[in-house]
Amino acid sequence: MGRTRGFEVAKGFEDKEINLPVRKTKHSAGYDIEAAEDTVVPAFKPGMKPTLVKTGLKAYCEPDEFFMLCNRSSNPGKKGLVMANSVGIIDSDYYENPDNDGHFMFAFYNMKEEDTVIKKGDCIGQAIFMKYLITDDDHAEGERTGGFGSTSK
């Protein structure tokens, strides 16, 4: 049986005891993603950049698929964490890219007045695999040349 979609530990995290994501119930859409290391997300101040929380993971999927990184519904209220990009979209060709091996991270802002501490192993979000459609006149032929933010380069 061939591989269709799944998670792997990204290069550089092989000895960090990274747990592969799982769905908690048979009707869950998302795979729960844990933090790969302790991270402090500082209280928000205008002009600051989001904090990237490492997962230690990469994921593969079919060429006509992607996966979304979504926040946990409890994160804003309990921890003050909102995703800087609202939803992260990870294309199939991000997997094993030459810049970072396809390691995906969550970009968070902390809306609380005090810093929020994320501990290694804390569930920080979820990944949901999806198919996508293209238009009749689509002629995209570009190739990914790197990792995070490289699509438009």
Map tokens 């500082």 to a residue.
42
In one-letter notation, the amino acid at residue 87 is V
Least confident segment among 63-67, 93-97, 138-142: 138-142
H or E element, residue 117? strand 116-118
User: In terms of CATH, what superfamily is 6-131?
Assistant: Deoxyuridine triphosphatase (dUTPase) (2.70.40.10)
- By the 8 A CB rule, do 106 and 90 touch? no
Exposure of 49 in the CB half-sphere (CA atoms within 13 A): 4
CA 124 to chain centre: 10
Map tokens 């380069």 to a residue.
153
Q: Residue ranges per domain, the chain?
A: 6-131
- Greatest alpha-carbon pair distance for the chain in Å reads 51
How many other CB atoms sit within 10 Å of the CB of residue 9? 20
CA 143 to chain centre: 21
Q: Does the pLDDT value for residue 149 go beyond 90?
A: no
- The tokens describing 50, both together, are 């989001």
Distance, in Å, from the CA atom of 60 to the CA atom of 5, rounded to the nearest integer, reads 5
Map tokens 């592969």 to a residue.
20
- By the 8 A CB rule, do 5 and 90 touch? no
DSSP characters for 23-71?
A: -SSTT--SEEEE-SS-EEEPBP-TTPPPEEEEEEEEEE--TTEEEEEEE
How many Å from the N-terminal Cα to the C-terminal Cα in the chain? 36
Q: Does the pLDDT value for residue 148 go beyond 60?
A: no
- The confidence band for 98, taking pLDDT boundaries of 50, 70 and 90, is very high
pLDDT, tens digit (0-9, with 9 covering 90-100), for 118-147: 999 999 999 999 999 999 999 988 776 765
The pTM assigned to this predicted structure is 0.90
